[in-house]
Amino acid sequence: MVALPTIAVTAARFINLCSGQLRERHAPLAMAGCMVVVLSGCATSAPQGDTPDDYFARSMPGLPDDWKTQMSPFDGQYDAFGNWQASPTEQVREALLAQHEQWVGTPYRLGGTTQRGIDCSALVRNIFRDTFELELPRSTRGQIHEGRPIDRQELQAGDLVFFRPPGAYNHVGIYVGDGHFLHASTSQGVIISSLDNVYWKRYYWQSRRPLAPSHMAKLKDSSSLNASRSM
């Protein structure tokens, strides 16, 4: 006769016990209680093996020894998305500051479009094209009609700020946050200036929002991903 597993013997004993209790007044309740105990015993008596410390670091069979285990779907190709925890406005701000690092010190040249010399509207156009894949008009006159007007108190990173200084030409820059804007200054080239500067405060004209920061952040991510794929 084949010996039953321990848990089966225990279950059989409980069933026999319950069968004997069928004669009792509360036999149905007794039987139900016995079945609960038996099932509880089955559920808790399964062996629990310890997971090895290196379980998740093991390579699958057939992979080379130098294979690097990926514990999440995050891969290097998505590095271009940057910090997913940052707000859209902060992502736009960081992208604009990165553009400042590339253009800072470039001299001002009316009609210029490169780092050998650039004017204010060309700088705005290049930054929006290269960072957000958004084509803006080449001139300040055209850019003044982009998006919708914004009050100065509502400025967010990515908004355009316009000025009417003395002379024949208007001036434009890109707001980067904290009361500062990025622009091509006629005297110092590409710099970041304060809107509270006496000169810029005096000649401030209006502001425009070409796109909401959330849309600009998505365009930035798309542009960065396309650039990484083309490398």
List active site positions. 120, 171, 183
Longest distance between any two alpha carbons in the chain, whole Å? 110
Residue 10 burial class via C-beta count within 10 angstroms: exposed 0-12, middle 13-18, buried 19 and up: middle
* Backbone φ, ψ for residue 151 (5° rounding): -70, 150
Of 198, 190, 199, which is closest to residue 166 (Cα–Cα)?
A: 199
Strand spans (E) along 72-223: 113-114, 117-118, 148-150, 160-163, 171-177, 180-185, 189-194, 204-209
| Sequence-ordered list of residues with C-beta below 8 angstroms from that of 69, at least 6 positions apart, any chain | 56, 57, 58, 59
d(C-alpha 209, C-alpha 198), whole Å:
24
Residues 6+ apart with CB under 8 A from 71: 56
CA distance linking residue 112 with residue 104, whole number of Å: 15
Cα(48)–Cα(44) distance, integer angstroms: 9
